[in-house]
Every structure is written in C-alpha cells, then in structure tokens.
C-alpha cells in the first residue's frame, strides 16, 4: 500500500488548481482511508460542515487527516485538517489518485474466458466479466466495463465509458400483451432495441427492456442504481439519477436531471419534466411538471 504525506496531498491539490486551507501542518503518514464512523490510524477521512464531529475521538487516533468543508467546527483539533469546497468530490479525487489500485471497479481491458461475445463491433479498452453474454447485433463503445453474469441481447448500442454492474439484463422482451384471435394472451412483438449514451452507469440486477416499435433510450450521464426496471420505449434523458428499486413502466419519458428516490413507481406513458424530484416510495400516475417535487401514493406536489 502507498505511503502518502500531507505535502504529497497538498502538491496534488496545487497541481489541480484546487484552493485549500491547511490547519495543523503536522508530520503525518497516510496509508489508507476510512469513513468517520470507522476511524483508523494513518488514514484520511472527510466531513461536511453540517455534521457534528467528535473531536476527542479523532484526537485519539494516530495520523488522521480530515478533509472538511469551510465552516466545519474543528476547535481543539490535534490533527491536520484540509478545508476545501466540494469536499466530497475533492476527497475522492485524492483517494483515487493515491490509492486507486484498491478500487475493485478498475478493470483492465480483456474478456474473461467464460464470457460469450458474439459481436465484432466492440471498442478498445473494454472489459467483459465472467459468464456474460453479448449478442452479435450489439455494438459496444470504448472503455466500457461489463461485469459478471450480464446479458446484452439484441440490437443494443452502448456508448463510451459506460459501466454495467453484475447481473443486469439489457434487451429482454417486456411485459406487453395483446389478445389473439382465439382470445388468448399473446406477447406484443418487440422489434426495436436499446440505445445507451456515454458515461452511463447501470447498477446490479437491473432490467432494461428493448423497445417495441422504437428503441428504449438512455441518454448520456444517466446513473441507475441496483434493481431498477426500465421498460420498453422509455426515454431517460441526460443526467437523470434513478435509485434502487425504481420501476418505470413503458413509453415513459424521464427528463434531464430528474432524481427518482428508492422504490418509486411510474405508470406507463407518463412524462416527468426536467429537474423534477420523485420522493421515496412514490407512485406517479400522471405528468410531473419541470422542477417540481412530488411525494406519496398517488404522488402529490410538495
């Protein structure tokens, strides 16, 4: 494991033109990182200004370095503190620079021997994990990480710098039925595919359904957590954040920058305006206007 000093960290911040203020420039040797609720010696951690700190507890550890937002109360601190704006982002930039080899998501280019990759349309720097399947119709961009037991089946396009966590299925047929001449339930043909933009992250055990007559679309910079279902013909626009357990029925449009809290359910054909906020466990049966917050079952404006 790397050994890092405060000077190393300050030099890194200066090289990125990140403004900071150092309190208690003490000889400190950092060998790793930790959260505030599980402190360790020789570690770096971070805190927002609105969180109460136990200075006495931090003082009891050896060589702890704290990243903090300006305004954080650190009176009587016997350890070094680096004050920065955007503390979460800067903290993780530092940990990734000095300890990035510990990140389990940093996969090198390659296809694991148990994976089945039929497509010839695959970019550079791609990783495909064990027991994953990619059909011949799929097109995979550059620097895409596809973890283990992932199925990508049908006319699927995946842009550059995407990450797909284990167990996810992209291109499955959706739950769309019609009545046959004999009066039986018969699945509607799903002729289309799925188009995924750049810098998209899809969590574990998600299902992205292929379109019926038009593609299901996930635009650039969308982030999707675990156990999410996105149905046929949905359009999820740029930068939307969809958290765990969300279910989005078919032909729905999710606007740019939307936040969908855990367990949200959206009815089919609904339009959610840009920058809307859907509260935890909400059921959305109708259109949500741009920038509005809703909560409840049925979801109501708050």
Alpha-carbon distance of 275 to 289, in angstroms, equals 9
Q: At what angle do helices 6-15 and 87-99 cross, to 10 degrees?
A: 110
Structure tokens at 62: 């050896």
Q: What's the token pair of residue 160?
A: 């550059």
Cα–Cα dist 152/144, whole Å: 13
Give yes or no for a contact between 127 and 145, defined as CB atoms under 8 angstroms apart: yes
**Region for 102 from its dihedrals, namely left if φ exceeds 0, alpha if ψ lies in -120 to 50, beta otherwise:** alpha
Whether residue 232 lies in the annotated active site: yes
First vs last C-alpha separation in the chain: 49
Cis preceding-peptide flag for 298 (omega within 30 of 0): yes
Residues belonging to the active site: 232
């Amino acid at each position: 494991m790397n050994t890092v000093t405060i000077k190393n960290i300050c030099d890194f911040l200066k090289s990125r033109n990140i403004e900071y203020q150092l309190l208690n420039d003490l000889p400190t040797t950092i060998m790793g990182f930790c959260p505030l609720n599980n402190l360790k010696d020789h570690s770096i951690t971070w805190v927002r200004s609105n969180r109460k700190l136990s200075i006495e507890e931090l003082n009891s550890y050896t060589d702890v370095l704290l990243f903090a937002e300006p305004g954080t109360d650190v009176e009587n601190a016997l350890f070094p503190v680096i004050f920065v704006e955007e503390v979460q982002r800067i903290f993780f930039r530092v940990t990734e620079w000095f300890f990035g080899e510990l990140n389990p998501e940093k996969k090198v280019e390659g296809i694991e021997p148990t994976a089945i990759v039929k497509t010839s349309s695959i970019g550079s720097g791609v990783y495909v994990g064990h027991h994953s399947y990619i059909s011949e119709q799929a097109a995979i961009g550059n620097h895409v990480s596809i973890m283990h037991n992932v199925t990508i089946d049908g006319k699927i396009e995946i842009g550059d710098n995407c990450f797909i966590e284990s167990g996810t299925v992209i291109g499955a047929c959706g739950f769309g039925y019609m009545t046959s001449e004999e009066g039986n339930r018969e699945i509607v043909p799903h002729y289309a595919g799925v188009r995924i933009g750049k810098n998209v992250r899809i969590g574990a055990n998600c299902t992205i359904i292929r379109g019926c007559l038009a593609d299901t679309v996930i635009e650039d910079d969308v982030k999707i957590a675990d156990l999410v279902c996105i149905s046929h013909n949905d359009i999820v626009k740029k930068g939307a954040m969809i958290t765990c357990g969300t279910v989005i029925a078919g032909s729905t449009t999710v606007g740019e920058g939307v936040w969908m809290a855990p367990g949200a359910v959206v009815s089919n054909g609904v339009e959610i305006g840009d920058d809307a906020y859907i509260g935890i466990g909400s059921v959305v049966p109708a259109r949500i206007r741009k920038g509005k917050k809703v909560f409840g079952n049925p979801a109501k404006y708050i």
